[in-house]
A and B are shown apart, each in its own frame.
Chain A
Amino acid sequence: NAGVTQTPKFQVLKTGQSMTLQCAQDMNHNSMYWYRQDPGMGLRLIYYSASEGTTDKGEVPNGYNVSRLNKREFSLRLESAAPSQTSVYFCASSPGPSYEQYFGPGTRLTVT
């Protein structure tokens, strides 16, 4: 039982490059989330998926797209990376409303 896994763990991009962050959970959770955390700051919600087949914007969706591929997997895509997207990205999953969220180990992304 791996919980929530994320790939890659580290990534360096140049401005304008694109990439996809992968997230998978093996807990049969309905809801999945993508957050970003800037140094010394709290977590900000980028996108979430309340259930398979649905996605919705969070607080800071600009510059990102998501795909809920199936119940297990939720990917985050940066189409044209910018230095302002340098951050640590966490994926999380939850059984549903008012249940705890389980976080993956994070991806450290640097955009130069």
Chain B
Amino acid sequence: QQPVQSPQAVILREGEDAVINCSSSKALYSVHWYRQKHGEAPIFLMILLKGGEQKGHDKISASFNEKKQQSSLYLTASQLSYSGTYFCGTEWSVIKAAGNKLTFGGGTRVLVKP
């Protein structure tokens, strides 16, 4: 099942903060976050793993609540370059032979205005 992202869209002024949420109905092993600008490929931001490990950029922060099967991505002191569509991808189990098969949410459009 596809994870559910909220909100669907958010408009910010430069310097403002926002939170993007990703919820799953299935138990998660990891949550991945990507950003996509219009007409471009998605770019990796962050992976949060069961057990608390995180891999990703220093300037992006996120949390993973294993009990609630939710992840939140925090956009702090937003810059114009933060504009784009943010996708979460969920991984339900880690079986080496299966690669990391991600199921992506529908996306959250973020527009940062001057």
Contact = CB atoms under 8 A, between A and B. Distances in A.
A98 B101 contact: no
Contacts, number: 75
Interface in B27-60: 29-30, 32, 34, 40-44, 47, 49, 55
A97 B104 contact: no
Contact of B105 (A42, A96, A101): A42
Decide if the interface of chain A is mainly helix, strand, loop or mixed: loop
A30 B99 contact: yes
Interface string B78-114: 0000000001010100111111111111110000000
B6 interface: no
Contact of B98 (A50, A59, A103, A105): A50
A51 B41 contact: no
A100 B32 contact: yes
Interface string A97-112: 1111111111000000
A72 to B, nearest CB: 16
Interface of B: 2, 29-30, 32, 34, 40-44, 47, 49, 55, 87, 89, 91, 94-107
